[in-house]
């Protein structure tokens, strides 16, 4: 997976916001794996993956068609953003086995 930037966090949190709470961990894991696979594809083939993009977490998340970004006044969205930050911090930006 490419280095995680601010936009990656926002895109992934938007995806999580659109799914039920019990599914969010699995969805986040799927996004991070897709970003890792896409990054390997990009390095090997010298082009973006046709579905998951350029290997960034943002590209993988945007392939899911996330809802628009809500305000940070939305407590549920803040929890989604915190979940993404926690996972990125826990894995140091590297793809973990889920």
Task: Give the pLDDT confidence of 34-61 residue by residue, as tens digits.
Answer: 999 999 999 999 998 888 899 999 999 9
Distances (CA, A) of 36 to 77, 84, 95: 24, 15, 6
Task: Give the pLDDT confidence of 66-88 residue by residue, as tens digits.
Answer: 999 999 999 999 999 999 999 99
pTM (2 d.p.): 0.89
Q: Which residues of 13-38 are buried (b: 16+ CB within 10 A; e: fewer)?
A: bbbbbeeeeeebeebbeebbbbbbbb
How many whole angstroms from its chain centre is CA 71?
19
Residue 97 above 50 pLDDT? no
Question: Where do the domains of the chain lie?
Answer: 6-91
């Amino acid at each position: 997976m490419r280095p995680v930037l601010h936009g990656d966090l926002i895109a992934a949190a938007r995806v999580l916001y659109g799914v039920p709470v019990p599914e969010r961990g699995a969805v986040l894991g799927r996004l991070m794996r897709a970003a890792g696979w896409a990054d390997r594809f990009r390095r090997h083939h010298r082009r973006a993956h046709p579905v998951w993009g350029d290997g960034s977490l943002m590209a993988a998340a945007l392939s899911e068609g996330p809802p628009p970004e809500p305000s940070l006044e939305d407590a549920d969205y803040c929890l989604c953003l915190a979940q993404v930050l926690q996972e990125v911090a826990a894995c140091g930006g590297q793809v973990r086995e889920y």
